[in-house]
Homo-oligomer: A and B are copies of this chain.
Amino acid sequence: MNDVLASLSNTGIAKQLGVPRVPVLRRHRPGDPLLAGPVLVASAGGAGGRFAKAVAAFVEENGQPVVGAAGEERLHGVVVDLSEARTLADLAAAQQLLTPAVRKLGPSGRLLLIGAEPADAFESGGAEAAAVAQALDGLVRSVAKELRAGATANLVVVAAGAPPVAIDSSVRFFLSARSAYVDGQVVHVAAPIGVLPEPAEVDDPLAEERPLAGRVAVVTGAARGIGASIADTLARDGATIVAVDVPAAGQRLADTANRTGGTALQLDITAADAADRLLTHLADRHGGVDLVVHNAGITRDKLLANMTADRWDAVLAVNLGAQLAINDALLAGGSPLREAGRVVCVSSQSGIAGNRGQTNYAASKAGVIGMVRALAPRFAERGATINAVAPGFIETDMTATMPLATREGGRRINSLRQGGLPVDVAEAIGWFGRAESGGLNGQIVRVCGQSMLGA
């Protein structure tokens, strides 16, 4: 589908506008190797970072050579461990490593920096170290805007106490084709919550193709659009799907359940008994739940000057109120949420940047962010996590009905020069949903191709 979109975008409009060709993004296909070529792995600062060795081992386990410096060959990825960078000299050393390396990055290449939390860096190296840690944020967001041909750049910030294993699932995600539309992002990783799976499982190639095997995943709004893609993608990765949507979704909900081999639950998530009914279904039919995806959402756009109470209330009830009620129930005694449970909420770029005509929607989606951050410690107490994805411009039935200029604008104002696909959102949810992702909690990750729109 991406090839179709890319070729469409390469004709007509794009050429008239004189804009550069739209790169075709490499996306995950079952059976494809995780890495498409050699990966440069290096570190700068102190005695070297504490993650480079594990990253190098991961690359070799996945059948690709590790190189220490840029040479003649095209690189699949460049990973620079700056977790011990504390001085401007360390930062300069990173630039010297990166400049020749980015020249060699291939199509859909991956630049990944690993940094320290500024507050941790301050403890060991003072204000200069905190500044250097934060400088990586400006560096990675800038270079992400410079890379071409579908290459991305992201930053994983690791807390002082986190062991190398904490970042495994994130390194895997960012180096792989699963992160095709995640660009210019900064993710914070801490010591994993709860019990990590045995490494043997992680190293098993089959485990990588079906990382959600044995896990029960509920997806709200699963009848169509992004929700249907989430259900399909999580099922592809081994999860048992519980597809939820309003009764009016009818056959499309049944289709999702049948396609994924899961169960369907017709439910108005804003009903007073919705959380009860959902949790009862999960307990009775599936014996529990491992992954809850709060995807259902609606828009009722109107300028604030013309906003009506019913439009405001409907959007807040579906997009935020229902998530709050279900999360409350998940945290209550007797909840079916199992150890290594994962809650993933769908926020939106509008919840971060705001959007004209969407005070209600943006308030609800910002509210989701506030909820995720507030509840992260509560879920951690149960050995679980809660995170959010914030999609940017994603190609759906909804965007297909936009006026052409609006649609083309939305597609183009990001570093990858195209809209994302529903599967891109789904892949990020799958990453958060893995049992190995216990180091990620309270995080908000945009799936937006590094949209220029921000706050």
Contact = CB atoms under 8 A, between A and B. Distances in A.
Contacts of A307: 95, 99
A83 to B, nearest CB: 15
A366 B137 contact: yes
B304 A131 contact: no
A313 interface: yes
Interface stretch (A37-45, A193-201, A370-378): A370-378
A151 to B, nearest CB: 11
A372 to B, nearest CB: 9
Contacts of A304: 95, 98-99, 102, 142-143, 146
Nearest to A323: B131
A141 B349 CA distance: 12
A453 interface: yes
A143 B306 CA distance: 12
B92 A312 contact: yes
B131 A353 contact: no
A266 interface: no
A6 interface: no
A314 to B, nearest CB: 11
Interface in A167-199: 184
Contacts of A320: 88, 131, 135
Interface stretch (A285-293, A356-364, A418-426): A356-364
Interface string A130-150: 111111111111111110000
Contact of A142 (B95, B309, B355, B378): B355
A303 B365 CA distance: 35
Contact-residue size bin, chain A (C-beta under 8 Å from the other chain): 35 or more
Nearest to A98: B304
Interface in A289-333: 303-307, 309, 312-313, 316-317, 320-321, 324, 327-328
B142 A363 contact: yes
A373 B126 CA distance: 12
B350 A142 contact: yes
Contact of A353 (B119, B313, B364, B454): B454
A146 B452 contact: no
A309 B350 CA distance: 39
A2 B304 CA distance: 29
A127 interface: yes
A138 B119 CA distance: 27
Contacts of A142: 304, 350, 354-359, 362-363
A222 interface: no
Nearest to A377: B122
B138 A362 contact: yes
Nearest to A186: B455
Interface of A: 88, 91-92, 95-96, 98-99, 102-103, 118-119, 122, 126-128, 130-146, 184, 303-307, 309, 312-313, 316-317, 320-321, 324, 327-328, 350-371, 373-375, 378, 452-455
Ranked 4 nearest A-B pairs via Cβ: A454-B454, A134-B370, A141-B354, A138-B366
20 contacts: A91-B363, A95-B309, A118-B373, A119-B374, A130-B371, A131-B371, A132-B370, A133-B370, A135-B320, A138-B350, A138-B359, A138-B366, A139-B366, A141-B362, A142-B350, A142-B358, A142-B359, A142-B363, A145-B356, A455-B455
Given A142-B350, A353-B454, 15 more contacts: A91-B363, A95-B304, A95-B360, A118-B370, A118-B374, A119-B374, A134-B369, A135-B363, A138-B365, A138-B367, A139-B366, A141-B353, A142-B359, A142-B362, A145-B355
